[in-house]
Amino acid sequence: MESRLKNKIWGSFSGLAIGDALGMPWHELTPEEIDLRSEGKLDQFFDPFDDEFIHLGYKAGQITDDTVLSIVTANAILKYDGKPETEEFIDELADWVKTNQAIWTHGGVYGPSTKAAFYKLMENKFDGYLDRTRSWLYSGTSNGALMRISPAGWANAGDWQAACDLACKLVLPTHPTDVALSAASGLASAVSEALTENATVDSIINAALKGTKYGEEQGLKRGRKTDNRFPLPNLEYALELATKAKDSQEAADLIRRRIGSHFHVSETLSSVFGIFYAAKGEPKEAILTAVRNGADSDTIASIVGSLCGALKGIESLPSSWVNTIEEINHLDAEKIAEQFVKLNQKK
């Protein structure tokens, strides 16, 4: 059991990083443009192209903010034995922000909500998430809330509600809105379920729906009310589209055209679970479908990779991908997986 949980968390972390790096060069390109430029070699890591305007200076196989901030989140969870309070996470985040300013200010990689929060932390202003006025300096509805929250599931294997509660605490400092807490809870709940021994695609989808609903309730109590584009109905619609699609690529295309596959948490959550469901949780198919879908390709592919890796384990990912990501980025993903296994054993 311990070995299986380790392989699942390891697979989730590695899948996240792989999807991130594979999707990075194709950000904001259309599927047609991606097909043309990749020449049918989407399973390889590419450098950004000359017309890149976000990942400036990045190299093939390099991870982006999706993985980097997941690591920051994971380290904070481990430091506080799986139960960091929002204020404690803010302290950890502030330390990282001040130490790594050259990373998060470079290019346009880190999103507007995240950057706005980071600039506040640079000024030693740590209570911005408590503001509920209209003069909000950042929207807090973008997918930066979603991309780094898989560790909340790693810390609570099989305990969906604990995963949701932790996700809400970790999202508040940068994305304190009703929709952000809802989407983040949906993903945390799904990852938590995916780590269980008897998880299936259907049980993970049910966990996502349950967690998204629970997170919406928490968001309306604890977050700033945006009162629009709630994740749950968009997720339900995406699953309906995925059910009718002939394959994962058609599902991704339908969702991108009708809901969207960009920065809003509702779009990202819908794309992730629609692709995951249509691909039947198979990591390689799901990741490459998300990559080819374009739009916010690195974030969606990274979350899909995390979810599929949690279900199928490290052995389900191509070893060439796993080795390349580790060699280039020095993640030590296996060690982090072992630490999360020990964390779960304490419960």
Count of residues making up the chain: 347
For 149, 215, 228, 307, the CA distances from 218, given in Å and listed in that order, are: 16, 5, 16, 23
Structure tokens at 271: 């794309």
Measure the CA angle with vertex 86, ends 81 and 90; round to 5°. Answer: 95
pLDDT averaged over every residue in the chain: 95
Give the integer Cα–Cα distance in Å for 27 and 40: 17
Predicted confidence at residue 135, as pLDDT, reads 43
Predicted confidence at residue 132, as pLDDT, reads 62
Task: Give the mean pLDDT of 295-324.
Answer: 98
Alpha helices in the chain (DSSP H): 2-23, 31-38, 65-79, 86-99, 101-104, 112-122, 144-147, 150-154, 160-171, 178-194, 201-222, 231-244, 248-258, 265-278, 283-292, 297-312, 319-329, 333-345
Give the integer Cα–Cα distance in Å for 34 and 231: 28
Say whether pLDDT at 298 is over 70.
yes
Give the integer Cα–Cα distance in Å for 333 and 337: 6
Instruction: Dump pLDDT digits (tens) for 9-62.
Output: 999 999 999 999 999 999 999 999 999 999 989 999 999 999 988 998 999 999
Residue 69: which of 153, 140, 146 has the closest Cα?
A: 146
Instruction: Dump pLDDT digits (tens) for 179-219.
Output: 999 999 999 999 999 999 999 999 999 999 999 999 999 99
Inter-helix orientation angle 2-23/319-329, to 10°: 70
Measure the CA angle with vertex 272, ends 233 and 216; round to 5°. Answer: 40
| CB contact burial 71-105 (16+ within 10 A = b; e otherwise) | bbbbebbbeeebebebeebbebbbebbeeeeeebe
The sign one gets for the Cα dihedral 327, 89, 104, 123 is negative
Q: What is the CA radius of gyration of the chain?
A: 18
- Residue 224 CA to chain centroid, in angstroms? 21
Delineate the domains of the chain, giving CATH numbers in brackets: 2-345 (1.10.4080.10)
Give the integer Cα–Cα distance in Å for 22 and 42: 8
Give the integer Cα–Cα distance in Å for 12 and 334: 11
Structure tokens at 280: 């039947």
Please, which pLDDT band fits residue 126 given cuts at 50, 70 and 90?
Answer: confident
Structure tokens at 290: 């998300």
Q: Which residue has the higher pLDDT, 261 or 125?
A: 261
Say whether pLDDT at 1 is over 80.
no
pTM metric for this prediction: 0.96
